[in-house]
């Protein structure tokens, strides 16, 4: 019972299930299965058949794909309470990207059949699903626009501010991004090489806009960093 209540609390924060009442969330929580993954372990590969949707209980997952040149492109970095794998369940197509654990991660999985059963019983979820997919499409459109219209310093500044908005923790030194990111991760998120990102991060530190300690990134002057986007 304790585990089910914990799952209910987690599901209540997931946009796809936000419209469900507590008793429905409790029913859904009973269908979830816990899974554990090691750091670096692939949760699923692009083009795999879709069988489950994942909700992250704890940990960190990157959704990535490969560029035509063979480089990594990170589409999203997800943490506690985020979910992934839902797109393929909605259109019954194969996985559109890879999902890889960036650290030891636990997810709760919902099977395809159970997901569709819940959708059929609760049509209010359809509106939530459409709204979420619309936001995904807008985000993808913005990323394409960034690649065309923004140079590397602007793209990197924008990615850092987006991460800070979603996972920022205010400290005495500034806004710390509550993720452990390597320079390669940032490069893949910005769609450039690690060397190029390393050079830009050095410039931002020299300007006093960032503080980097290992994999800890602190945005010291977010307003000034914002100006570099435009």
Domains, the chain, ordered by start? 2-147 (2.60.120.10), 151-227 (1.10.10.10)
Question: What tokens appear for 11 in the block?
Answer: 């599901």
State the distance between the two ends of the chain, measured CA to CA, in whole angstroms. Answer: 52
Q: Could you read off the pLDDT of 171-189 as tens digits, one per residue? A: 988 999 988 888 888 888 8
3-state secondary structure of 46: coil
- Give the span between the Cα atoms of 197 and 144, in whole angstroms: 19
Please check the confidence at residue 44 and state whether its pLDDT lies above 80: yes
Mean pLDDT, residues 160-164 taken together: 91
Determine the average pLDDT of the residues in 134-147: 79
Instruction: Check: CB of residue 88 under 8 Å from CB of residue 96.
Output: yes
Mean pLDDT along residues 8-17? 83
Contact 186, 159 (CB under 8 A): yes
pLDDT for position 90: 67
Residue given tokens 């899974």 in the structure block:
35
* CA geometry: angle 25, 178, 176, nearest 5 deg: 140
Find the mean pLDDT for residues 40-46.
95
**pLDDT tens sequence across 103-114:** 999 999 988 888
Coil, helix or strand at residue 219: strand
Whether the pLDDT of residue 133 is over 80: the answer is no
Mean pLDDT value across residues 191-210: 90
Q: Is 70 or 106 the better-scoring residue by pLDDT?
A: 106
Does residue 8 contact residue 22 with C-beta atoms inside 8 Å? Answer: yes
d(CA 155, CA 47): 28
Least confident of 26-30, 84-88, 197-201, 220-224: 84-88
Q: What is the pLDDT of residue 94?
A: 87
pTM: 0.81
Mean pLDDT throughout 126-135?
78
Section 15-34 average pLDDT: 84
Does 1 have pLDDT greater than 60? no
- Average pLDDT over the chain reads 86
Whether residue 81 contacts residue 14, with contact meaning beta carbons closer than 8 Å, is answered with yes
Q: What is the pLDDT of residue 161?
A: 92
Distance CA 193, CA 173 (A): 28
């Amino acid at each position: 019972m304790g585990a089910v209540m914990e799952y209910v609390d987690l599901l209540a924060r997931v946009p796809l299930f936000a419209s469900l009442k507590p008793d429905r969330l409790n029913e859904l929580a009973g269908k979830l299965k816990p899974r554990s993954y090691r750091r670096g372990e692939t949760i699923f590969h692009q083009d795999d058949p879709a069988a489950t949707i994942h909700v992250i209980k704890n940990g960190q997952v990157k959704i990535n794909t490969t560029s035509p040149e063979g480089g990594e492109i990170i589409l999203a970095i997800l943490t506690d309470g985020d979910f992934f794998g839902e797109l393929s369940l909605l259109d019954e197509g194969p996985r559109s990207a890879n999902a890889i654990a960036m650290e030891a991660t636990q997810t709760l999985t919902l099977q395809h059949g159970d997901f569709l059963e819940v959708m059929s019983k609760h049509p209010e979820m359809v509106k939530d699903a459409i709204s979420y997919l619309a936001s995904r499409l807008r985000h993808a459109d913005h990323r394409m626009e960034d690649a065309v219209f923004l140079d590397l310093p602007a793209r990197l500044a924008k990615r850092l501010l987006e991460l800070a908005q979603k996972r920022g923790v205010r400290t005495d030194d500034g806004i710390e991004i509550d993720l452990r990111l390597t320079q390669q991760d940032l490069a893949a998120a910005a769609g450039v090489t690690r060397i190029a990102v390393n050079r830009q991060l050095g410039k931002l530190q020299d300007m006093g806009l960032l503080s980097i300690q290992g994999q800890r990134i602190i945005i010291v002057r977010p307003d000034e960093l914002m100006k570099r986007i435009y």
